[in-house]
Amino acid sequence: MTKDELVAWALANGWTMMAGVPSLSKPSRPKEAIVRMMLLATVANVEIKKPAGKWEKVAGESYGKIIPDPESGFPLGLGFERIPSFSMLMRDNKDRQVFAKMK
């Protein structure tokens, strides 16, 4: 997958752009990112914000090695398939976006 494909996938699955990078937030604090996808020149990294406020890289892979899952479209290689809480957080963020449009 390319950088643009990853951004398109992220925005379609509940991520929002915060500080120029695709990010997920807690439903109770939608303005504060707790997960972000840093899309660098040759690699994509997934980082989680620690309680102390520092970002910790939890997964990373070069764009050439990231492939979409044929069934779900999830980018394989970035750790989303190993950590089920990412799916729940993405669903919560997407639901919040959908309900915000209804108002």
For 40-58, what is each residue's pLDDT tens digit? Answer: 999 999 999 998 889 999 9
Task: Kindly report the pTM of this predicted structure.
Answer: 0.82
* Count of structural domains within the chain: 1
Beta strand ranges found along the chain (DSSP E): 16-18, 21-26, 29-39, 43-49, 55-62, 67-68, 75-76
For 6-19, what is each residue's pLDDT tens digit? Answer: 999 999 888 999 99
Domain membership of residue 32 as a residue range: 3-102
Give the integer Cα–Cα distance in Å for 22 and 64. Answer: 19
